[in-house]
Amino acid sequence: MSNLDRQAALSVCGGRGFVVGEPVRELLTPRHVQLGESTEVRRLLPNLGRRMVGAWAFVDHYGPDDIADEPGMQVPPHPHMGLQTVSWLHDGEVLHRDSLGSLRTIRPRELGLMTSGRAISHSEESPKPHARFLHGAQLWVALPDAHRNVEPHFQHHTDLPTVTAPGLEATVILGELDGARSPGTAYTPIIGADLALTAGAEARLPLDPDFEYAVLSMSGEAEVDGVPVLPGSMLYLGCGRAELPLRAGSDAGLMLLGGEPFEEEIVMWWNFVGRSHEEIEQARTDWTTGTRFGEVEGYDGGRLPAPALPPVALKPRGRVR
Ligand code: MN
CATH of the domain at 25: 2.60.120.10
Tell how far the Cα of 198 is from the centroid of ligand 1, in angstroms.
Answer: 32
As a whole number of angstroms, the distance between CA 150 and CA 69 comes to 41
Asked if residue 219 is part of any domain, the answer here is yes
pLDDT computed for residue 314 by the predictor: 74
Domain encompassing residue 72: 11-259
| CA 152 – ligand 1 centroid, Å | 13
Low-confidence residues of the chain, pLDDT below 70? Answer: 1-18, 36-38, 317-321
In a domain, 297, yes or no: no
How far away, in angstroms, is 84 Cα from ligand 1 center? Answer: 9
Cα(255)–Cα(195) distance, rounded to whole angstroms? 6
Core vs surface per residue 201-239: b (16+ CB within 10 A) or e: bebebebbeebbbbbbbbbbbbbbbeeebebbbbbbbbb
* 278 within some domain: no
Is residue 299 domain-resident?
Answer: no
Q: Please say whether the beta carbons of 122 and 296 come within 8 A.
A: yes
293, amino acid identity = F
**pTM beyond 0.85, yes or no:** yes
Ligand 1 centre and the CA of 271: distance in Å?
Answer: 7
Q: How far is the CA of 116 from the centre of ligand 1 (A)?
A: 10
CA of 2 to the centre of ligand 1 (A): 4
H-helix segments, the chain: 277-288
Q: Report yes or no on 316 lying in a domain.
A: no
Ligand 1 centre distance from Cα of residue 201 (Å) = 35
Number of domains in the chain: 1
Whether residue 321 is contained in a domain is answered as no
pLDDT for res 321? 42
In a domain, 3, yes or no: no
Q: Which of 258, 245, 249, 170 is nearest to 214 (CA)?
A: 258
Ligand 1 midpoint to CA 74 (Å): 11
Closest CA to 130 of 74, 85, 75: 74
Q: How close is the Cα of 206 to the center of ligand 1, in Å?
A: 32
Distance CA 220, CA 79 (A): 34
Please, what's the b/e burial string for 145-154 (b: 16 or more CB within 10 A of its CB; e: otherwise)?
Answer: eeebeeebbb
Tell me phi and psi for residue 203, to 5 degrees.
Answer: -140, 155
**Are the C-beta atoms of residues 275 and 294 closer than 8 Å to each other?**
no
Asked if 182 and 161 touch (Cβ cutoff 8 Å), the reply is yes
Give me the pLDDT at residue 312, please.
Answer: 78
What would the pLDDT profile of 3-22 be if each residue is shown by its tens digit?
655 556 656 666 656 678 89
Cα separation, 59 vs 27, in Å, equals: 15
Paired sense of beta strands 120-125 and 94-98, if any: antiparallel
